[in-house]
Amino acid sequence: MHYYSTNNKSIKVSFREAVLKGLSNDGGLFMPVSVPSIKRSFIESIENKSFQEIALEIAKGFIHNEIKDSDLEKIISDSINFDAPVVRLNDNHFILELFHGPTLAFKDFGARFMARTFSYFNRNNDKELIILVATSGDTGSAVANGFYLAEGIKVVILYPSGKISDIQEKQLTTLDKNITALEIAGTFDDCQKLVKSAFVDKDINERLNLSSANSINIARLIPQSFYYLNAFKQVKKFGKKIIFSIPSGNFGNLTAGLFAKEMGLKVERFIAAVNSNKVFTEYLVTGNLEPKPSIRTLSNAMDVGNPSNFSRIVDLYKNDLESIKKSIYAKSFDDDQTISAIKEVYEKFNYVIDPHGAVGYLASKDFIEKYGEDNLIITLETAHPSKFVDIVKSVLGIEIDIPERLKECLKKEKQSIRLSDKFSEVKNFLLSMN
């Protein structure tokens, strides 16, 4: 399997190079020359497959012998060792819980898979690998946890100062050893821009062995496609057309879903559920993506004003707006609506949902009101509500159980290095690591 740059299809690299580089030298994102298909017989008998068997089948198609099957099987078993259950709200609305991993967020799937894949590819390299990642919340903690103590790998996480939850900050700033947190005076978009600038900087690339764990890296999206098929396995028995509602910020999760559909998963449509950062919903109306400064919201992991994976979505649909609109419905909601949704889900279904899942629920509800209840909608719950305990507690007036693994990190002391949003400062820091 080869991968090309979204900026130049003549630039083709192996899976290994796409993973280790993260971003093409021309600034483009890597895409598979063709999305691998899954045998129809596999999907028809998917209810008899384990989550790990589903993951292995998908991964083999994207990696195509660059990792031996026996080694890939070990990577899968080590990284995808927790569940992603589908919970029923009512006859046509379900929740896909993606928070059962170590850091209680869906990013654990990608981060753990990537950490083991990076280690595999870098095992015979004397030069230390530096993973550079920007986070709007959960990515940082998942990457920090996934790569913690990985031999021959250092991780540098950029996060926007004062714009992530206290718990999220604790999760990504309380690890030491090979993990460094850079607290940037700016927004997530500033952090993302700094990461992209580092990847195309000549001095940095000559002196450092750099890669990324953001959803700009194709290896983050592959494991995120696993749980779409695993969710289908759990609801196949109902025999309804399936729609996924996806809380969306940088659109990596949605892109992974689109990959799953291209592979052969039977999906009627996807819903891009966004908060007040609604550049994508506006794109579907105007046909033009106009990046804007991100707006701070309660669903902070979705506070993205210039989604990176937009280029992959456009590429996948050959820049055909009408085709994109047939596959993706989008709707945005503000914080007041998010708060109302958290209350509604608890009162109607006795289910505690986090702010991101609440936005997904609102988009699902909106879709049902417009198009009826014939479909089965699965809303992705991307983070455990305890990660937003202050918000959820104030809205519902109840105590939220905090898992023990989260309580432990709250006892630790924050360790971060404060920098401005100037690239020169980040560049100097990175070069000082050499």
State pLDDT tens for residues 266-312: 999 999 999 999 999 999 999 999 999 989 999 988 999 999 999 99
What whole-number distance in Å separates Cα of residue 60 and Cα of residue 40? Answer: 16
Which of helix, strand or coil describes residue 98?
Answer: coil
What whole-number distance in Å separates Cα of residue 140 and Cα of residue 220? Answer: 13
What pLDDT, on the 0 to 100 scale, is given for residue 152? 87
The most confident of the ranges 20-24, 142-146, 219-223 is 219-223
In the chain, what percentage of residues exceed pLDDT 70?
Answer: 100
Arithmetic mean of pLDDT, 341-362: 98
Among 1-10, 33-42, 213-222, 260-269, the minimum mean pLDDT is found in 213-222
Report the DSSP pairing between strands 2-5 and 30-32: antiparallel
The two three-digit tokens of residue 335, written as one number: 């914080």
Consecutive H or E run containing 3: strand 2-5
Burial class (CB in 10 A: 0-12, 13-18, 19+), 347: exposed
Task: Kindly report the three-state secondary structure assignment for every residue of 364-393.
Answer: HHHHHHHHCCCCEEEEEECECHHHHHHHHH
Q: Is the pLDDT of residue 158 over 80?
A: yes
The most confident of the ranges 114-128, 207-221, 371-385 is 371-385
What pLDDT, on the 0 to 100 scale, is given for residue 374? 85
Confidence of residue 198 (pLDDT cuts 50, 70, 90): very high
Q: Is the pLDDT of residue 428 over 90?
A: yes
What whole-number distance in Å separates Cα of residue 275 and Cα of residue 96? Answer: 19
What pLDDT, on the 0 to 100 scale, is given for residue 85? 98
Least Cα distance to 199 among 128, 133, 112 occurs for 133
What pLDDT, on the 0 to 100 scale, is given for residue 122? 86
Arithmetic mean of pLDDT, 358-375: 93
In the chain, what percentage of residues exceed pLDDT 90?
Answer: 81
With b for 16 or more beta-carbon neighbours within 10 A and e for fewer, the 49-74 pattern comes to: bebbebbbbbbbbbbeebbeeeebbe
What pLDDT, on the 0 to 100 scale, is given for residue 406? 87
Which of helix, strand or coil describes residue 345?
Answer: helix
What pLDDT, on the 0 to 100 scale, is given for residue 224? 97
What whole-number distance in Å separates Cα of residue 112 and Cα of residue 32? Answer: 21
- The whole-chain average pLDDT of the chain stands at 94
Least Cα distance to 357 among 333, 322, 376 occurs for 333
Least Cα distance to 31 among 341, 205, 342, 255 occurs for 255
Confidence of residue 25 (pLDDT cuts 50, 70, 90): confident
What whole-number distance in Å separates Cα of residue 41 and Cα of residue 53? Answer: 14
Domain limits, the chain: 82-104+219-402
What pLDDT, on the 0 to 100 scale, is given for residue 176? 82
What pLDDT, on the 0 to 100 scale, is given for residue 165? 83
Confidence of residue 321 (pLDDT cuts 50, 70, 90): very high
Arithmetic mean of pLDDT, 232-257: 96
Q: Is 107 a catalytic residue?
A: yes
88-92 — which CB contacts under 8 Å span 24+ positions? 89/345, 89/348, 89/349, 89/351, 90/349, 91/373, 92/240, 92/368, 92/373, 92/374, 92/375, 92/376, 92/377
What pLDDT, on the 0 to 100 scale, is given for residue 398? 94
What pLDDT, on the 0 to 100 scale, is given for residue 65? 87
Amino acid identity, position 240: K
Arithmetic mean of pLDDT, 377-384: 97
State pLDDT tens for residues 209-223: 888 887 889 999 999
Residues facing 275 on adjacent strands: none
Q: Is the pLDDT of residue 360 over 80?
A: yes
**Residue 60, C-beta contacts closer than 8 angstroms, at least 6 positions apart:** 69, 72
Helix (H) and strand (E) counts for the chain?
Answer: 19, 14
Confidence of residue 1 (pLDDT cuts 50, 70, 90): confident
Confidence of residue 125 (pLDDT cuts 50, 70, 90): confident
Question: Are 54 and 38 spatial neighbours (Cβ–Cβ below 8 Å)?
Answer: no
Residues facing 155 on adjacent strands: 131, 179
The domain made up of 82-104+219-402 has a fold known as Rossmann fold (3.40.50)
Residue in 60, 107, 163, 261 annotated catalytic: 107
**Residue 248, C-beta contacts closer than 8 angstroms, at least 6 positions apart:** 254, 272, 273, 274, 280, 302, 307, 330
Arithmetic mean of pLDDT, 382-404: 93
Confidence of residue 166 (pLDDT cuts 50, 70, 90): confident
The most confident of the ranges 53-57, 89-93, 217-221 is 53-57
